[in-house]
Structure 1
Amino acid sequence: MATNRTYDELEIGESASLTRILTPNDLFVFAHASGNINPVHIPDIDWNGDGQKDDPVAPSMWVGALISSVLGNVLPGPGTVYRSQTFNFRDRVHLGDKLSVTATVVEKQADRVVHLETRVARSDGTVIADGRAIVVAPETRITFDPAELPGILVERHQHFDRLTELAATVPPLPVAVVAPDDPNALGGALLAAREGLITPILVGNATAIAATAKEIGADLTGFEIVDEPTEDKAAARGVALIHEGRARALMKGHLHTDTLLRHIVKRDGGLRTGKRLSHCFVMDIPGRPSPVIISDAAINIAPDLAAKVDIVQNAIDMGRALGITEPKVGILSAIETVNPAMQSTIDAAVLSKMAERGQIRGGIVDGPLAMDNAIDVQAAKTKGITSLVAGRADVLIAPNLEAGNMLAKELTFIAHAEAAGLVIGASVPVMLTSRADDERARLASCTLAILYDHWLRNGAPLAPFDAPLPRTDAEPKAEAAQ
């Protein structure tokens, strides 16, 4: 609760402070609220054109706005009205800087007018800004509950951006792209090649591929094209390229999923490993601290318990490839207790016990869990659920394909998540993108394939998920003027 100090209560020399750390979301919100889109204040962009992402500096008026947080929240607090404010800006604020914001009463005048010295300093004592505020202090006690303030969702897909940067630190992955004869399929593969993520081998009808390239204005010079007249032959040839060692991953282009999977799972010449294939959607959901993996939403229609064992293990492996050390897996149902009339709750309980006994490895598995208490800590507490997974799930295992597919699409179209998909369980990663997926989704799927390929071959992720990325930037750029 925020409670004020009335004019009569204020004393000369009285002081109050708040602390604040500058985050990327602060800069995005301020840019939208103020209309100031000066690129030197926007994270994750190259504003000077040298090919490196530049370190943004906070707008000076964002720093100034911190003063109002002290005046409006603490001293004098709720009910305070500005008369004037002066600023001297002495230094710049960078991402991660911890700031101390202080206001000190220096003068009281008639009509409830109060003068306060204001100061913003970095944690090392460096003064960022100082000045004087003149306000009209409140006359009566006012108390305000901050919980009444609506929250703000910043639609920002930072997890895929970070993972793509990480994937770009290793050599490009050789990928057989099967039937890339529509704009999204071909455009996505070429985009990933331009980003240095993959070396695509275009397998399909050469005439159709060339026509698509002309349609999107792409130059195919330097790209290998393996001419196969039909989708079926293209799928077979793509799998053969894996066995020949010329490719280490498959990307589905403009063909039906069944056509490609038929050649992946065939006993002779396929890519089987003894595990059931399953599909993992990796969802970058705005506001979530890490990606969320959903399985299975694309291959196994009504999996039995044996199939779910492989689905869970595959999803754990995907999480570990992303750098999540011990993925927390929530087995979803409509309720969080075992009900013999609901098979999904029985399966969930068995899967949890199998993980405890080491039959499923590498993650923490719990269920049954309803969706709310799988991802929301408060919902889990409200229902009295004590669990290492409840409220913190990295992986959500749906009871069947219909539920998984609806969940993934709801997150995409209602929660504004960005989704990428990968088939796990074959000897190589398979990018099973939808024919309707755009280039961005295909690029993200290439990122997943690179990370999973590295994990398959090395038994370890490229980097822990929360570790800093390897830095290749040049020296920090000189700060730009406001």
Structure 2
Amino acid sequence: MKSFAELLNRSTSQQKKTVAIACAADAEVMEAVSKAVELKLAKFVLYDTEQNFQAISQDILSHPDIELRYTPTAAQAVKQAVQSAGSGEADALMKGHVDTATLLREVLRDENGLKTGKTISHVAVFEFPEFDRLLFVTDAAMNIAPDLKQKKDILVNAVAVAHRVGLANPVVAPLSAVEVVNPAMPSSTDAALLTMMYQRGQIKGCVVDGPLAFDNAISVASAKAKGISSETAGYADILLVPNIESGNVLYKSFMYFGRAKVGAVIEGAKVPIILTSRADSAESKLYSIALASI
């Protein structure tokens, strides 16, 4: 796939999944839900207080693919939405108008049934106006300063999402500020170790090539200009960032300066978790629903 239009087409051709939304009574969330049910993309179970739902258009709330679950408080809306995903009633979980920490606290409670023992990580997918492919960035929202083991897990999670989008053998570029190993720069040594793990068969289903600076990862001309001897430098599908700060800055730079469209999911839990920012557009939320639905 090279665009979100292709992703939406594929998502709507599949059996509709059920998405549980915590604190769903939010204008941008409901706009995304409205478009999703119009496209027959998914079914939704919406959790929020009755008072909050009263502020939402009753036309959309009466759609046959939407079920309302009234809760006495926002905290209960989060708890019940998480439990519905953990019990198997819902196929995906989505964050509405609630802060990320509150939702993730419930996700990580053992009794709610969403933990798998795997590292949970954020995978963002970007479509640019003048780029020939979708570009994945991980992890821009969950893991603050991942160690080598966590980076491997984050990489594997991103590859799993890329496979579902249709990339059979995605190229992963572990990013650093340089394209050579510098012992004083941990991101470069981690990148080199991940590349060696791939070469030794410890990471499968992708190609891992690093360390690479950002320009060498996505530009063939830049890689050639720097004399990098690699068949995959410049062709990265997945950018593995060294820490949350670099990932967050890259994510927001893509959106605000690169005019990129974006969808994102949390991978590694029992079900996909749609964890968009409260500031993200309804369009981004729709793409994230499509990403989770496949």
Pair in the same fold by TM > 0.5: yes
Residue 187, structure 1, aligned to residue 31, structure 2 = yes
Greater relative contact order (Cα < 8 A, sep 6+)? 2
Equivalent AA in structure 1 for residue 244 of structure 2? L
Unaligned runs of 5+ in 2: none
The aligned counterpart of 2:290 is 447
Q: Describe the SS at the equivalent of 2:112.
A: coil
Equivalent AA in structure 2 for residue 334 of structure 1? A
For residues 234 and 381 of structure 1, do their structure 2 counterparts lie closer, same or farther at Cα, with a shift above 3 Å needed?
Answer: same
Residue 196, structure 1, aligned to residue 40, structure 2 = yes
**Residues 76-103 of structure 1 deviation map (CA, whole Å, 9 limit, x = unaligned):** xxxxxxxxxxxxxxxxxxxxxxxxxxxx
Q: Describe the SS at the equivalent of 2:227.
A: coil
**Residues 379-404 of structure 1 deviation map (CA, whole Å, 9 limit, x = unaligned):** 11111112233100000011111101
TM-fit CA distance, 1:171: 1.8
Unaligned runs of 5+ in 1: 1-156, 452-482
Q: Is the 8 A contact 2:87 2:113 kept in 1?
A: no
Alignment TM-score, normalising by the size of structure 1: 0.59
Equivalent AA in structure 2 for residue 205 of structure 1? T
Whole-angstrom CA distance in 1 between matches of 2:60 and 2:14 = 25
Equivalent AA in structure 2 for residue 172 of structure 1? K
Residue 329, structure 1, aligned to residue 175, structure 2 = no
Whole-angstrom CA distance in 1 between matches of 2:240 and 2:253 = 15
1:427 pairs with one of 259, 270, 292: 270
Look at both structures and tell me which one has the larger radius of gyration over its CA atoms: 1
Greater fraction helix: 2
TM-fit CA distance, 1:158: 6.4
Whole-angstrom CA distance in 1 between matches of 2:199 and 2:286 = 36
The aligned counterpart of 1:383 is 226
Residue 224, structure 1, aligned to residue 78, structure 2 = no
Q: Describe the SS at the equivalent of 1:208.
A: helix
For residues 245 and 378 of structure 1, do their structure 2 counterparts lie closer, same or farther at Cα, with a shift above 3 Å needed?
Answer: same
Q: Describe the SS at the equivalent of 1:268.
A: helix
Following superposition of structure 1 onto structure 2, how do residues 27-38 of structure 1 map, counting pairs within 5 Å? none
Residue 436, structure 1, aligned to residue 279, structure 2 = yes
TM-fit CA distance, 1:270: 3.2
Q: Is the 8 A contact 1:183 1:213 kept in 2?
A: no
Whole-angstrom CA distance in 2 between matches of 1:331 and 1:437 = 26
**Residues 412-447 of structure 1 deviation map (CA, whole Å, 9 limit, x = unaligned):** 111111011100011111100111122111110011
Whole-angstrom CA distance in 1 between matches of 2:75 and 2:10 = 34
Q: Describe the SS at the equivalent of 1:367.
A: coil
Residue 306, structure 1, aligned to residue 153, structure 2 = no
Whole-angstrom CA distance in 2 between matches of 1:389 and 1:273 = 33
Q: Is the 8 A contact 1:279 1:422 kept in 2?
A: yes
- Stretch deviating more after TM superposition (305-314 or 221-230): 221-230
**Residues 204-248 of structure 1 deviation map (CA, whole Å, 9 limit, x = unaligned):** 21220231336xx74435331111222322222112212333210
Following superposition of structure 1 onto structure 2, how do residues 52-71 of structure 1 map, counting pairs within 5 Å? none
Following superposition of structure 1 onto structure 2, how do residues 454-465 of structure 1 map, counting pairs within 5 Å? none
Whole-angstrom CA distance in 1 between matches of 2:46 and 2:61 = 13
For residues 219 and 238 of structure 1, do their structure 2 counterparts lie closer, same or farther at Cα, with a shift above 3 Å needed?
Answer: closer
User: Percent identity of the aligned residues?
Assistant: 40
Q: Describe the SS at the equivalent of 1:212.
A: coil
**Residues 145-179 of structure 1 deviation map (CA, whole Å, 9 limit, x = unaligned):** xxxxxxxxxxxx96001110111101211010110
Following superposition of structure 1 onto structure 2, how do residues 311-322 of structure 1 map, counting pairs within 5 Å? 311-322=154-165
Alignment TM-score, normalising by the size of structure 2: 0.95
Q: Describe the SS at the equivalent of 2:136.
A: strand
The aligned counterpart of 2:83 is 240
Report the aligned-residue RMSD: 1.6
The aligned counterpart of 1:170 is 14
The aligned counterpart of 2:118 is 275
Q: Write out the 4+ residue segments of structure 1 that deviate beyond 3 Å after TM superposition.
A: none
Alignment length (residue pairs): 293
Whole-angstrom CA distance in 1 between matches of 2:39 and 2:166 = 21
Whole-angstrom CA distance in 1 between matches of 2:252 and 2:93 = 24
Whole-angstrom CA distance in 2 between matches of 1:326 and 1:210 = 47
Whole-angstrom CA distance in 1 between matches of 2:233 and 2:73 = 48
- Stretch deviating more after TM superposition (360-369 or 242-251): 242-251
Whole-angstrom CA distance in 1 between matches of 2:210 and 2:73 = 45
Whole-angstrom CA distance in 2 between matches of 1:219 and 1:203 = 12
The aligned counterpart of 1:404 is 247
Equivalent AA in structure 2 for residue 163 of structure 1? L
